[in-house]
Amino acid sequence: MHSFAKAFSTVRSRRIVVSFLARSMARLGVPACVVSVSIVAAHAQISPSLPNPIAAPNPMTTTLSIFRSNMQDKIMKSAEAMPEARYSYRPTKEVRSFAEILTHVGDISYILCSNAKGEATPGTTAPKGSKAEIKAYLKGAFEYCDGVYSGFADAHLNDPASFFGFKTNKMFILTQVGNHDALHYGNLVTYMRINDLEPSGGWF
């Protein structure tokens, strides 16, 4: 109960601040669109060091990689923050443990990125029982994806690909990597909050 109360208190405090900002700006005659953008930016805590893909040789692929890299950085920090004794933690018996989520993220990263590159999936037989082994496995998967994205050209984003048997294009595969990471980072945040741990920050 303590963990949920703490999380609720944090969310409630943020809502109070956001509501106050909205009312104050509205009284000053600030247009609603500006109020909305200002509140979203304040709540998201976007860093001024957010990478800018505009000048990159392959800006579309670079944009996809920025989101992926941001999520993977958060996942690695979560893997480090959780004590090894809690790696087996799961909120209910029906869901993956913390360790199983990390391993699953590594597996899918290898599968999707090798798909985009057009080669056999490497890495998935690596040992991953201890915290150190799981972190090393994740690091290897993320670094493999780094190489795939950095070597990919925008001109090939619409090349044909297969997503677990469904016909699609390479852009779908590269987009799904970051999407999958974000999905499971949300799980990790919940697990960490329940265990009285603060999730890491990031660009956004």
pLDDT tens digits for range 74-124: 999 999 999 999 999 999 999 999 999 999 999 999 999 999 999 999 988
Tell me which residue of 196, 201, 167 sits closest to 185, measured CA to CA: 201
Give the per-residue pLDDT at 11.
Answer: 47
For 131, the token pair is 């915290």
In a domain, 203, yes or no: no
Phi-psi region of 93 (alpha: psi -120 to 50; beta: other; left: phi over 0): alpha
Q: How many residues does the chain have?
A: 204
Say if residue 38 is in the same domain as residue 81: no
| Mean of the per-residue pLDDT values of the chain | 83
What is the domain range of residue 9? 2-44
Say if residue 20 is in the same domain as residue 78: no
CATH number for the domain including 142? 1.20.120.450
Low-confidence spans in the chain with pLDDT less than 70: 1-50, 201-204
Say if residue 74 is in the same domain as residue 133: yes
Q: Cα(134)–Cα(193) distance, rounded to whole angstroms?
A: 21
> 113 near 148, Cβ under 8 Å?
yes
